[in-house]
Amino acid sequence: MWEGSGNNYAYLVTDEKTKNAVIIDPANPPEVLPVLKQKTESGDIKLQSIINTHHHHDHAGGNGEILKHYKLPIIGGKDCAHRTETPSHNSTFTVGDSIKVTALHTPCHTQDSICYLFEDGNDKAVFTGDTLFIGGCGRFFEGTAEEMHKALNETLAALPDDTRVYPGHEYTKGNVKFGIKVMQSEPIKKLQSFAEKHKETQGKFTIGDEKLHNVFMRLDDPAVQKATGKSKPVDVMAALREMKNNS
């Protein structure tokens, strides 16, 4: 959504067997509603709920308009517009018969940020909002370096390495431009090459990849510590974010 300005992602996830579906962060109804209308009227999907990763307008700001067309529960953090349910950390719910969703609280970008792990058989995907981007992370608007370190390097890093990452924005080109200044490793060069050739990078990389090419998940790396002049992980995280903000 808002291609060329916000480069936001909204995601429609459907259980193929039951056609039950959820829409994640449908913040721009003029772009989202025509898709939902076509798919619901054709019987391709049965909308089950709206899911929000956090309360910012460019993620939860479309809830009110979507509700005029579809009477749905809204699953999201405590500050999300029209929210009906906030899942507790590590709690689960299902989409249709086969998709299990785990809510992972990752406060920092906002205090109500939640990432959602979707599992269907062996397939795993995590929708990270503005907490984790491909090769980067969100600004610490409502939180601290300590919170982002925990969110990325404890909560999300604990997910299986083959979990595919679906972030809230397409920011990879900018993230890798910063990352390559910090650390000239092969994984970062590979990410740079991919970003130069592809407009969209969502779902193309995994948690395992992020541990290799995302400098915010490599706080113990000597190259990252050297670039920041810090050695304690939380201090490295704070310095990195400050450097990125000013880059």
**pLDDT given for residue 177 in this prediction:** 97
Cα–Cα distance between 210 and 160 in angstroms, integer?
Answer: 12
Cα–Cα distance between 16 and 175 in angstroms, integer?
Answer: 34
Q: Is 105 a known active-site residue?
A: no
Q: 247 by DSSP, 3-state: which?
A: coil
Tens-digit pLDDT profile for the chain (247 aa)?
999 999 999 999 999 999 999 999 999 999 999 999 999 999 999 999 999 999 999 999 999 999 999 999 999 999 999 999 999 999 999 999 999 999 999 999 999 999 999 999 999 999 999 999 999 999 999 999 999 999 999 999 999 999 999 999 999 999 999 999 999 999 999 999 999 999 999 999 999 999 999 999 999 999 999 999 999 999 999 999 999 999 8
Rama region for 12: left / alpha / beta (φ>0; ψ in -120 to 50; rest) = beta
Q: Which of the residues 59, 105, 149, 213 is marked catalytic?
A: 59
Total Cβ atoms within 10 A of residue 197: 7
Q: Which of the residues 55, 105, 149, 169 is marked catalytic?
A: 169
Give, rounded to a whole angstrom, the gap between the first and last alpha carbons of the chain. 25
Q: 192 by DSSP, 3-state: which?
A: helix
**pLDDT given for residue 168 in this prediction:** 98
**pLDDT given for residue 247 in this prediction:** 87
Q: Is 89 a known active-site residue?
A: no
Q: Which of the residues 130, 149, 209, 213 is marked catalytic?
A: 130
Residue that is written with structure tokens 């984790």 in the block: 132
Question: Which pTM was predicted?
Answer: 0.97
Q: Is 97 a known active-site residue?
A: no
Q: Is 55 a known active-site residue?
A: no
- In this structure, what DSSP letter does residue 87 have? P
Q: Is 109 a known active-site residue?
A: yes
Cα–Cα distance between 98 and 120 in angstroms, integer?
Answer: 6
CA separation, residue 173 to residues 4, 170, 176, 207 (Å): 13, 8, 5, 18
Q: What residue ranges do the domains of the chain occupy?
A: 11-245
Q: Which of the residues 105, 109, 149, 213 is marked catalytic?
A: 109
HSE-CB for 17 with a 13 A CA cutoff = 6
CA separation, residue 158 to residues 39, 41, 183 (Å): 35, 40, 23
Q: Which of the residues 54, 105, 149, 213 is marked catalytic?
A: 54
Q: Which of the residues 56, 105, 149, 213 is marked catalytic?
A: 56
Q: Which of the residues 15, 25, 58, 209 is marked catalytic?
A: 58
- In this structure, what DSSP letter does residue 117 have? E
Contacts of 29 (CB under 8 A, 6+ apart): 62, 65, 66
Cα–Cα distance between 104 and 90 in angstroms, integer?
Answer: 6
Cα–Cα distance between 237 and 47 in angstroms, integer?
Answer: 39
Tell me the CATH class for 11-245.
alpha beta
HSE-CB for 199 with a 13 A CA cutoff = 5
